[in-house]
């Protein structure tokens, strides 16, 4: 009985021995090949040894946040579409029509974002928007009066 137990446990012992040998090998190689020099920023929790350049209080443009919000919205859309695709045959026509309405609403939201200029970066004006047209007319009126 004891001999049978030893034959069953030896692969596990070999596995743990190989894991320990691998860990020791990796630690030795990292010690041999690693840097010996310590910078002032090495112990900083964020920079992780990379010396900072410039000011850390950089202002991020609002467009980055808009892109992140749009990504989350349309990423959640794909989750719903994948869940619908899995249950496609069980849902029937009612599920198909409800998903068409869902995709249609999201398409309208995307068109609205595009037309309102939320997807544009910089100080560009979009042709065809009422605000841009009103600004252009006001500018032309002022130029004509001068």
How far, in Å, are 8, 66, 106, 109, 131 from residue 117 at the CA level? 68, 11, 17, 12, 11
CA 58/CA 67 separation, integer angstroms: 18
All domains of the chain, ordered by start, with CATH? 62-122 (1.20.58.1610)
Q: Which of 135, 70, 40, 119 is nearest to 127 (CA)?
A: 135
Give the pLDDT of the chain (146 residues) as one tens digit per residue: 567 777 888 889 999 999 999 999 999 999 898 877 766 666 665 655 566 666 666 677 777 888 888 888 888 888 889 999 999 899 899 999 999 999 999 899 888 888 887 777 766 555 555 666 667 777 777 777 55
Residue 132 half-sphere exposure toward CB, CA atoms < 13 A: 10
- Rounded to whole angstroms, the Cα distance separating 77 from 83 reads 10
Model pLDDT, residue 117: 78
């Amino acid at each position: 009985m004891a001999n049978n137990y030893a034959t069953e446990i030896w692969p596990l012992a070999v596995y743990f021995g190989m894991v320990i040998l691998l860990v020791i090998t990796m630690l030795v190689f990292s010690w041999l090949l690693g840097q010996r020099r310590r910078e002032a920023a090495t112990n900083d929790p964020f920079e992780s040894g990379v010396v900072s350049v410039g000011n850390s209080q950089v202002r991020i443009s609002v467009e980055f946040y808009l892109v992140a919000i749009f990504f989350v919205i349309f990423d959640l859309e794909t989750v719903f579409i994948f869940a619908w695709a899995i249950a496609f045959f069980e849902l029937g026509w009612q599920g198909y029509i409800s998903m068409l309405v869902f995709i249609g609403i999201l398409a309208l939201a995307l068109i609205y974002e595009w037309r309102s200029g939320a997807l544009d970066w910089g100080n560009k004006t979009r042709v065809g928007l009422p605000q841009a047209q009103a600004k252009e007319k006001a500018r032309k009126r002022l130029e004509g009066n001068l």
